[in-house]
Structure 1
Amino acid sequence: MSSPKYVGIRTFLGAPQSAVNEVLSGQIVFCGAPLDAGQTYRVGARHGPSAIREASRVVRPYNPRLDLDLSALALSDAGDADVAPGSIERGFEAIRSHIGAIVQRGAYPMIMGGDCSIAFPVLGELYSKWGPIALVHFDAHTDTWDEYWGERYTHGTAVRRAIEAGFIEPSASVQVGIRGSGYGPSDVEQSRDLGLLVLTADQVHADGASETARRIVERVGSHPVLVHFDIDCLDPAHAPGTGMPEVGGLTTHDASIILVGLAGINVVAAEVTEVLPAYDPSGITAIAAANVLFELASLAGSHG
């Protein structure tokens, strides 16, 4: 309350700035991974971190559902990974270096993408610290395709690549909100064949937010968890500014109730991806993303 929200340098939730080599053990560290070299349709998620930080100015630090004041915790914003536009390989290297420094110092990265391909290097760094990770993956798409036009590393293949590398524990992992037209039944069945639990958007709508949260908690158990939230998990009415919009998605209210229902799981990192400001003229997608990241940081803070 020392100054209006529109004053000062843009960091997420107004958190103090820090270099990655200055973060402390136990801190919740906001950071950006502005890589969109893996996108296959609309591009522009490289600008997602700046839009989410700007939108976070409307988010206050107290979470009434969890009775948690984030401003009472150790927070920092460690800036963005120094990715190279157009190079997914160099982008992965930069993300692994940036996120790895945070993880190895015992802090909890809250990551703003970027496209969904960032999950692969992030999961690699989490694996080096925690071993196989439980993935809670909110998305309209499974991201378990093998390749796109001969390319094995895209935003649609990240989960498959991570499972193949051993970064993910499939038996403790779940995909939430999957929907939309596809190329065939294998689009969803390939995730189940890899060992993932798939909760389609239709199932979420039928079961309700609280039951969906219960199933996720039951699935992940005590495993360390990465929560990956592709903003296209939300219906385009709530999040139009994204790369691959699909009708029939979650509402922002349902998403927030599900996330609050995950309280108690061991969230060691989280990421919000696929925010494209150029397709978000009113800013509602960035506002939704900022609030999702606020809920995810609250989960990490409440568990710690």
Structure 2
Amino acid sequence: MSIAERNQPLGGNAMPRFGGIATMMRLPKVETAAGLDAVFVGLPLDIGTSNRSGTRFGPREIRNESVLLRPYNMGTGAAPFDTLQVADIGDIATNPYNLLDSVARIEAGYRELLQHDVIPLGLGGDHTVTLPILRAIAAKHGPVGLIHVDAHADINDEMFGEKIAHGTTFRRAQEEGLLAQGRVVQIGLRGSGYAAEDFDWARRQGFRVVPAEECWNRSLQGLMQEVRQQLGAGPVYLSFDIDGIDPAFAPGTGTPEVAGLTSVQALEIVRGCQGLDLVGGDLVEVSPPYDTTGNTALLGANLLFEMLCVLPGVTIRR
């Protein structure tokens, strides 16, 4: 397939950026992942949240803000649309009245996507969505390495007596054998807690925990070099909670924590995944009702584009 035959984002001179149908990067909307190399998929869900809701609107607003994105990455030279066939498959129909049914629907939707040789990039949605995604990913690829960017470890055993919620995702994933031993890194954890156990359980599982304090006032390029060496060969999943970023840059989220990562560090983390065997990724916890400027959704859209730019097989043009 030639470059001309591959899908391209709709340019601002073909249709004003405030016009047209809202898809991710104004790419074509498709009904099936057949023939695609990568696909954007919406995960509208917020009934797994514990504080401020609104992430059910996240996918739509990320798409709205993505109209500013263009096909060539000026910072890295990545030209993903030269070599990858990419589209937006729309949203998985979650159940707004039933969290467990929504989890089952997401897993089923991803299992159907992964019948094709495609890399899914998810638009969240609260962080509950990553558990069913990892179930489907592991069913295809086996246990995967994980890069998890977040203010919170999301390793609670339960929340209000429930085993499935946005704060239990990675404990369930570990218990279910979805994560590869010694190949999990959590970056940006911070804030107040109930006890040291809030982070130490992860360390006992062999996760590498990088608190936000270790990231202050420094570039994260060196850290990501270490992460690439640790994860090595084998499939890797990238899960990016927007609250890993300081609320000065990303206020539109449900559980903000002060003194987080900067938007520049966020780019360093995603760009630092270049060379890893990424088999999927997500950007979660954007809550538009608390994002009055749209800057949180704009950052989320950019991070998803950056994820696309580091997928295996992407052309680098200088």
Q: What band does the TM-score fall into relative to the shorter chain?
A: over 0.9
Matching residue within 17, 29, 53 for 2:29: 17
Residue aligned with 1:65, SS: coil
Distance in 1, matches of 2:314 and 2:223, equals 20
**Normalising by structure 1, what TM-score?**
0.96
Matched, 1:65 2:75: yes
Output the CA distance in 2 between the equivalents of 1:59 and 1:228: 21
Q: 1:174 to 1:303 in 2, by over 3 A?
A: farther
Unpaired stretches in structure 1, ≥5 consecutive residues: none
Alpha carbons 1:30, 1:78 under 8 Å: kept: yes
Question: What corresponds to 2:56 in structure 1?
Answer: 46
Number of matched residues?
302
Residue 196 (1) aligns with residue 204 (2): no
In structure 2, C-alpha distance between the alignment counterparts of 1:120 and 1:251, rounded to whole Å: 26
Distance 2:312 2:164 in 1: 32
Identity %: 36
* Structure 2 equivalent of residue 161 of structure 1: 172
SS of the aligned residue for 2:188 comes to strand
1:106 matched residue in structure 2: 117
Matched-pair contact (CA < 8 Å) for 2:122–2:281: yes
Match of residue 41 from structure 2: 31
Q: Which residue of 1 aligns with 2:160?
A: 149
Query: For the structure 1 residues 11 and 143, does the alpha-carbon distance in structure 2 shift closer, same or farther, using more than 3 Å as the test?
Result: same
- 8 A contact 1:236–1:247 mirrored in 2: yes
1:66 CA drift (Å):
2.9
1:182 equivalenced with 2:193 (yes/no): yes
SS of equivalent residue, structure 1 residue 300: coil
CA shift, 1:71, in A, is 3.0
Structure 2's unaligned 5+ residue stretches are 1-10
> Equivalents in 1 of 2:109, 2:68: separation in Å?
27
CA contact (8 A) 1:136 1:225 kept: yes
Residue 244 of structure 1 pairs with residue 264 of structure 2:
no
Matched, 1:292 2:306: no
Kindly indicate whether the alpha-carbon contact (under 8 Å) linking 2:233 and 2:277 is maintained by their aligned counterparts in 1.
Answer: yes
Aligned counterparts of 2:109 and 2:312: Cα–Cα separation in 1: 21
Is contact 1:177–1:249 with CA below 8 Å preserved after alignment? yes
The structure that is helix-richer by fraction is 1
Runs of 4+ in 1 over 4 A off after TM superposition: 301-304
Distance 1:57 1:156 in 2: 31
Question: What is the alpha-carbon distance in structure 1 between the residues aligned to residue 240 and residue 215 of structure 2?
Answer: 15
**1:81, CA displacement in angstroms?**
0.6
2: CA distance, partners of 1:125 / 1:301: 20
Tell me the alpha carbon deviations over residues 17-62 of structure 1, each in whole angstroms, 9 at most, x when there is no partner.
111xx22355210011111121111111111000100010111111
Q: Say which of 274, 283, 286 aligns to 2:285.
A: 274
Q: Does 1:95 align with 2:106?
A: yes
Q: CA deviation at 1:266?
A: 0.7
Deviations 1:257-280 (Å, cap 9, x if unpaired)? 222122100111000000000000
Distance, in Å, in 2 between the alignment partners of 1:241 and 1:43 is 10
Cα distance, 1:303 vs. partner?
Answer: 5.7
Secondary structure of the structure 1 residue equivalent to 2:213 = helix
Instruction: Measure how far apart 1:301 and its partner are.
Output: 4.9
TM-score of the two chains, using structure 2 as the length reference: 0.92
